[in-house]
Amino acid sequence: MSNIFSNKFIADEKNHTLLKDMMWGPNGIRQAEELASHFTITKNMKILDLGCGMGLSALYLVQAHGAEVFATDLYADPTENLKRFQSLGIAAILGCPRCGKMCPWY
């Protein structure tokens, strides 16, 4: 398994602060990268990321594969996550409120 995306992302100095702010536990980018290596993920594929935390796995899925990700977590504020994604210029991650009304699987 190659960690090409995560190694490049982590090596970029500007991403250090982002990682410090967003990482709650294990590196979500590396975990998503490993998991994604076992699947064919295509551009605009819709992915539901339950337990997204601060959204590092969703960030990877959007930037590396062009997927459209619906991300939610019991403890992370979906509005804050959505604002963070938008501030990074990533419109393909949609924050699902806990009630699920924005989510296409509702």
- Predicted confidence band of residue 30 (pLDDT cuts 50, 70, 90): confident
| Per-residue CA distances from 101 to 46, 49, 71, 85 (Å) | 16, 15, 13, 19
- Angstrom distance (rounded) from CA 46 to CA 41: 9
- Angstrom distance (rounded) from CA 13 to CA 22: 15
Predicted TM-score of the model (pTM): 0.70
**Domain CATH code at residue 45:** 3.40.50.150
The verdict on residue 101 lying in a domain is no
**Which tens digits make up the pLDDT trace of 48-66?**
888 888 888 888 898 889 9
| Number of domains composing the chain | 1
The verdict on residue 102 lying in a domain is no
The verdict on residue 8 lying in a domain is yes
Token digits for 99? Answer: 């009630």
The verdict on residue 43 lying in a domain is yes
| Residue ranges making up the domain that contains 16 | 4-95
- Angstrom distance (rounded) from CA 83 to CA 13: 22
